[in-house]
């Protein structure tokens, strides 16, 4: 079966510090991978998605970036965090199937920028 991992689970960082969040998927090959941010009690905002190694599409211009160095690894980074970067970051994967393109989510990372 497929599983998706995210770490760290929680993170508190000062403004201006760098960021690296990691997401890995097990049990599937060549998944589509996604990074979302969720403000408190709100819906999901798509940040980046990737259909393959080294292929990144950005949905929202910001000081964040994403990379996919391996097939099942997706990294979200920033060189200098802003207060507005605080939120709940979710990684998801999907694979096209007869039942549609369903996304499966990781447990999330709670980021607080002080």
Partner 1 sequence: TQLLEQSPQFLSIQEGENLTVYCNSSSVFSSLQWYRQEPGEGPVLLVTVVTGGEVKKLKRLTFQFGDARKDSSLHITAAQPGDTGLYLCAGDNYGQNFVFGPGTRLSVLP
CA distance 3 to 82: 31
CA atoms within 13 A on the CB side of 28: 20
Minimum CB–partner distance for residue 38 and partner 1 (Å)? 8
Sign of CA dihedral 40, 44, 45, 48: positive
- Interface with partner 1 (CB under 8 A), residue from 34, 35, 48, 93: 34
Q: Is 61 near partner 1 (CB under 8 A)?
A: no
| Angle in degrees, CA 39, 107, 111, rounded to 5 | 45
- Binding segment for partner 1 (CB under 8 A), chosen from 12-20, 37-45, 63-71, 78-86, is 37-45
Q: Residue 111 CB, nearest distance to partner 1 (Å)?
A: 13
Q: Which residues bind partner 1 (CB under 8 A)?
A: 6, 34, 41-44, 46, 88, 90, 92, 94, 96, 99-108, 110
């Amino acid at each position: 079966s497929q599983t998706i991992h995210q770490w760290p689970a929680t993170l508190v960082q000062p403004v201006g510090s760098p960021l690296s969040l990691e997401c890995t998927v097990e049990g599937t090959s060549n998944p589509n991978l996604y990074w979302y941010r969720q403000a408190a009690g709100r819906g999901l905002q798509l940040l980046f998605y990737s259909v393959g190694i080294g292929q990144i599409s950005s949905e929202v211009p910001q000081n964040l970036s994403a990379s996919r160095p391996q097939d099942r690894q997706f990294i979200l980074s920033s060189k200098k965090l802003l207060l507005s970067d605080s939120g709940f970051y979710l990684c998801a994967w999907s694979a096209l199937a007869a039942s549609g393109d369903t996304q499966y989510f990781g447990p999330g990372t709670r980021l607080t920028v002080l």
